[in-house]
Copies of this chain bind each other. A is one copy, B any other.
């Protein structure tokens, strides 16, 4: 894909997003970005001083959004269970909007932990952390006691993985002669199953 008739900066950002998404921070080549943008490599460094700066510019905000969903929405007037239901709804809304971003971020963080450690630290939120909300509810005997860390991981697993692994399921089910698409219907089914899981843990 060659890009023309656009402001250079936009061309670069689009090309960079394409290449970074495909190959990651390490695998991406500045030359390929320049080629796709249809410009000279030096121009990349003119607009964005270096590779990492360009990377940051491309994914500015994406990381933040991704990690913000790990915070619980703070309507403390509602029971914890209802707040978690809202949390799940938000999670699915986010993931339906950015299914590619999720896997990209996960891969980048996995492969390049030291770099991302700092970027994650920079993300600040005034929302309470899910762990704390759960622990608090347990202390007040509002809910049954269980390991909040494990629960949080379970919950996010149930929400996120279906999107990340979507293509695998699609291929696998099809090649086994089953009917299954990433239709909104199926997503709703999965969402319900997550809420069922919450209800089970809270019973």
Contact = CB atoms under 8 A, between A and B. Distances in A.
Nearest to A159: B157
Contact of A110 (B103, B117, B147): B103
Interface string A68-88: 001000000000000000000
Interface in A159-182: 160-162, 164-169, 171-173, 175-176, 178, 180
A38 interface: no
Contacts of A173: 149
A156 B149 contact: no
B106 A103 contact: yes
Contacts of A193: 147, 150-151, 154
Prevailing SS type, chain A contact patch = helix
A160 B172 CA distance: 17
A200 interface: yes
A160 B165 contact: yes
A178 B131 contact: yes
A150 B26 contact: no
A97 B121 CA distance: 29
Contacts of A150: 186, 189-190, 193
Given A117-B171, A197-B197, 12 more contacts: A23-B111, A26-B27, A27-B27, A103-B103, A105-B168, A109-B167, A149-B189, A150-B189, A150-B190, A153-B169, A157-B157, A157-B162
17 contacts: A22-B111, A24-B27, A24-B111, A27-B27, A27-B112, A67-B172, A100-B110, A103-B103, A103-B106, A131-B178, A149-B173, A149-B178, A150-B193, A154-B193, A154-B197, A164-B164, A200-B200
